[in-house]
C-alpha cells in the first residue's frame, strides 16, 4: 500500500462524517482504493500468467523525476528483452481518447466527463523511465475493469483489457 492511500484511509477514519470535507475525501479515497485494486489484480495476473523465457523484475508505484516534477508509474516491467511501463485504469464507462488535443473523456450513465488523460500520464512515465534507464521503453494502458469499453482509442500507445495483457 502506498503512503498516499494510507494517509487517505487514516484521515477518513478520523474525520467526522459531518465535516464539510468528508464527502470529497470519501470520493477521493474510493477512487484511490479502486486504482490500488486494479494495480494489485494486474500485478497478480502478470506474476501468474506472463510467459517469458526469463522472469521479469516488476516494480510497483514508482515516482521518477521528470522535468520540474515527477512521473508516477503504476508498474514497471524490466526484462532482458524489453522494458515496459504499465498504466492501469480501473474505471467504468465508454472511453474517448483525443490524442490530438491530449484529452480524455468517458461516458457513464449518459454523462460525458473529462478526466486525466491516461495516454498523457503514460507518455510522461515512459519518457521519465527512458531518461533514467537510457534505453527505449514501451508503454501500455491496461483497463482493469470489465465495465469499460474503448470507443475511440489513443494513437500513441495500445490499450488492452486486463485479461489480454499477458498475450501482447
C-alpha dihedral, 62 to 84 to 140 to 114, nearest 10°: 30
pLDDT for residue 63: 94
C-alpha dihedral, 154 to 155 to 157 to 163, nearest 10°: 50
Query: Edge-to-edge strands of the sheet including 159-161?
Result: 57-66, 69-78, 83-89, 138-143, 159-161
pLDDT tens track for 70-118: 999 999 999 999 999 999 999 999 999 998 888 999 999 999 999 999 9
Q: In the chain, what are the domain boundaries? A: 51-167
Can you tell me the distance from the alpha carbon of 44 to that of 104, in angstroms, rounded to the nearest whole number?
Answer: 27
Q: Which CATH class is domain 51-167?
A: alpha beta
Q: Is the pLDDT of residue 33 over 80?
A: no
Amino acid at each position: 500500500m502506498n503512503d498516499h492511500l494510507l494517509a487517505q484511509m487514516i484521515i477518513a477514519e478520523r474525520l467526522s462524517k459531518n465535516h464539510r470535507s468528508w464527502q470529497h475525501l470519501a470520493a477521493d479515497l474510493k477512487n484511490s482504493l479502486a486504482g490500488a485494486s486494479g494495480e494489485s489484480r494486474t500485478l497478480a495476473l502478470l506474476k501468474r500468467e506472463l510467459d517469458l523465457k526469463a522472469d521479469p523484475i516488476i516494480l510497483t508505484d514508482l515516482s521518477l523525476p521528470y522535468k520540474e516534477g515527477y512521473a508516477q508509474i503504476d508498474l514497471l516491467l524490466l526484462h532482458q528483452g524489453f522494458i515496459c511501463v504499465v498504466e492501469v485504469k480501473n474505471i467504468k464507462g465508454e472511453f474517448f481518447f483525443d490524442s490530438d488535443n491530449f484529452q480524455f473523456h468517458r461516458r457513464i450513465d449518459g454523462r460525458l466527463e473529462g478526466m486525466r488523460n491516461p495516454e498523457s500520464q503514460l507518455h510522461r512515465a515512459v519518457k521519465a523511465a527512458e531518461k533514467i534507464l537510457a534505453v527505449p521503453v514501451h508503454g501500455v494502458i491496461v483497463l482493469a475493469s470489465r465495465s469499460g469499453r474503448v470507443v475511440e482509442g489513443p494513437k500513441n500507445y495500445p490499450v488492452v483489457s486486463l485479461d489480454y495483457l499477458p498475450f501482447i
